[in-house]
Structure 1
Amino acid sequence: MTVETAAPLHVALIMDGNGRWASQRGLPRAAGHRAGVQALKRTVEGAADCGVGCLTVFGFSTENWRRPAEEVSDLMGLVRSYVVSDLKRLTKAGVRLKVLGRRQGLPADIADIIRRAEADTAHNDRFLLQVAFNYGAQADIADAARTLAEAGRPIDENALSQALSTGEGPPVDVIVRTSGERRLSNFLLWEAAYAELVFQDVLWPDYGPEPLRRAVEEFRARDRRYGGLPDTPATRVAV
């Protein structure tokens, strides 16, 4: 059965291309990351106009700790400045902030900033912004399975979906990756099962409402079948 495709409620974004954007301009990678924060602000502000109610962005993976210490330190500084400087604006706009990923191993002040930001925006219900930080999909699946096992609960598809860090949010409709790369890079692997994939040749610092609108339009043009065939009822085959 063909399902009519409306605007996606939940868009996930792999924000890729900060380093290449900076390199093309002869700038340090840190400049690309700072420009990427401004792109995130623009994209969040324009998402509701595209009919999007939930935006999940890949901010920092469990594998990103392998990057040079100076770059990791700069990324942590951007988290501090972004959350602190934008918290009032997000709250005023009715945005609820949720951070996905492991809290273990984070600098103490970062973990505290995350806790306070989630608590301060918990009552907001206009828009959900999920930031995957110190996140890896394989680790998230393993953590969910461990939680269920330790609680003595059966591990089935529904239980595992609810136990993931994304379990409270709506199903992912479309995953968008910028910069032209075509891979998921350990992002939302379970949630990607029936999500549409859109790859855009836009470096993340140049992103904003217009590229997001194009991604939404591409999603709406897709024929989502969820394993079925268009307008073809299931029939029993004699054997």
Structure 2
Amino acid sequence: MPLPLATATEGISPDNVSGNSTVPRHIAVIMDGNGRWAAARGLPRLAGHRAGAEAVTRCLKAARAKGVEYLTLYAFSSENWRRGPDEVADLTGLLRFYLRHKVNELHKQNVRILFVGDTHRFGQDLCDELAHAERLTGANTGLTLLLALSYGGRSEIVQAAKAIARAAMRGELDPDSIDETVVSNHLLTAGIPDPDVIVRTSGEHRLSNFLLWQSAYAELVFLEQMWPDFNETTFNQILEIYARRERRFGARPA
């Protein structure tokens, strides 16, 4: 049974889905709905976050199986620090657990792990574990997994603007030479291709400060499904929707 989609204009149904899906090079996901998933079952929010972590494993497996090169997951936004201290502690504790128990497994699967965001806010001990994960997997040539932690798109653009301004003040950069490539090269995702598709679960229709610069021409897919229920079927539906989109990057159709 197909999953309910928040966008009703895609025309996706079991009768009209093509089997020739074009696999996007880079998929980015706003993993939303853990708390509501738990509340609907009378469970604490931590149970929702734990179920969401298992959904990450399923998403990774599906992405690797389909040959996706880059998968970016919005794991902890800069705004998440405003949540209650208990929930923040639960989230960081869960992150620490998976760093200690899953990184070696991902390394064996040839996955490269990168982190983007203001990760220093997590404290030195956790930062050391993040750095270890990046070093351990840095030479891997399979799927690149980017985890956005303490990340905010506006802050990223502000930091890039400051770095460019400082380079111009030092005489290292002609202000007239600043273009989109220069800006992109000063972002946290420098060297990573922009996402082809951005997915958000839980029925919300917004980017929530995620990859604001990089999403300029990304296809957007909004799903009603809560993140903890994400599975291989969900992933295949995303590929089917993407395959039916016509990407013109602002050009007129032929």
Output the TM-score relative to the length of structure 1.
0.92
Provide the C-alpha distance between the structure 2 equivalents of 1:103 and 1:34, rounded to a whole number of angstroms.
21
Q: Select 2:222's aligned residue among 194, 199, 222.
A: 199
Aligned to 1:128: 144
Give matches, 1:122-201, under 5 Å.
122-152=138-168, 153=173, 154=175, 155-201=178-224
In structure 1, which of residues 14, 37, 49 is the aligned counterpart of residue 30 of structure 2? 14
Superposition pairs of residues 105-116 of structure 1, within 5 angstroms? 105-116=121-132
Following TM superposition, where does structure 1 have runs of at least 4 consecutive aligned residues deviating by more than 6 angstroms? none
Letter in 2 for 1:72: V
Partner of residue 251 from structure 2, selected from 213, 223, 228:
228
Q: What letter is aligned with 1:75? A: L
Letter in structure 1 aligned against 2:85: A
How many corresponding residue pairs? 227
Aligned mates of 1:30, 1:107 — CA distance in 2: 21
Alignment equivalent of 1:87, drawn from 99, 103, 117:
103
CA displacement at 1:151 relative to structure 2: 2.0
2:235 is paired with a residue whose SS is: helix
Match of 2:54 in 1: 38
CA distance in 2 between counterparts of 1:223 and 1:94 reads 32
Q: Distance in 2 between matches of 1:33 and 1:107?
A: 21
Q: How far, CA to CA, are the matches of 2:69 and 2:240 in structure 1?
A: 16
State the identity as a percent.
47
Deviation for aligned residue 1:22: 0.1
1:101–1:135: 8 Å Cα contact kept in structure 2? yes
Residue 81 of structure 2 aligns to a residue in which SS?
helix
Partner of 1:236: none
Q: Which of 226, 235, 250 does residue 212 from structure 1 map onto?
A: 235
- Is the CA contact 1:50–1:216 (under 8 Å) kept in the aligned structure 2? no
Residue 71 (str. 1) matches residue 94 (str. 2): no
Aligned-residue CA RMSD (Å): 1.1
> What code does the residue aligned with 1:80 have?
R
Compute the TM-score of the two structures, normalised by the length of structure 2.
0.87
The answer for unaligned runs of 5 or more in structure 2 is 1-20
